[in-house]
Amino acid sequence: MIRIREQLLCVVVLCAATTVTVAADEQEPESLATESTEESEPGDFDEALDQQTDVLIEELKDTESPLIVMGDLNSHWDQNRSYVRQLAEKLELAAYEPQNDHLGTYKSTDGKRLDWILVSGDLAFSRYEVLPDRVSDHLAVYAKLSLTL
């Protein structure tokens, strides 16, 4: 997590296959550190995502400044156990057209949408697109945001 000292903006960037552990003093968390789960047993993946989601919600629920959570959340909106939807609902964040089937980010725009940008109510999407160039097995996402304060 990046925190500007004046608390003007809070940005959280996530990568797939990580769990989140708090790396801060007890009073005010300054950052979240991630720990790879690549060595986990296959059945542990959902448990790791549950733990990561719970820690993120706990750490971010009282954020008063505009908040952006983005990255490979390894989850799509309509699945039964949607971590992205859970983050959005519990932290009161918005996603750009979450049920649009043509914003896939995994391998093609018609593929699964695993990469997300979630924003708090004081931010709005002015522009959003999935770029056609593959930078890995995922496509890059571009968003332009405006302040609604």
Percentage, residues of the chain above pLDDT 70: 72
Question: Within 13 A of 51's CA, how many CA atoms are on the CB side?
Answer: 14
Per the structure, how many domains does the chain have?
A: 1
Question: Within 13 A of 41's CA, how many CA atoms are on the CB side?
Answer: 3
CATH number at residue 67: 3.60.10.10
**pLDDT tens digits, 81-106:** 899 999 999 999 999 999 998 999 98
Residue 12, beta-bridge partner list: 69
Cα separation, 130 vs 142, in Å, equals: 6
Average pLDDT, the chain: 77
Question: Minimal CA–CA distance to 87: which of 103, 64, 71?
Answer: 71
Give residue 42's domain range. Answer: 2-147
Report pLDDT for 42.
53
**pLDDT tens digits, 28-57:** 433 444 444 445 555 567 787 788 888 889
- In the 8-state DSSP scheme, what is residue 121? T
Report pLDDT for 41.
58
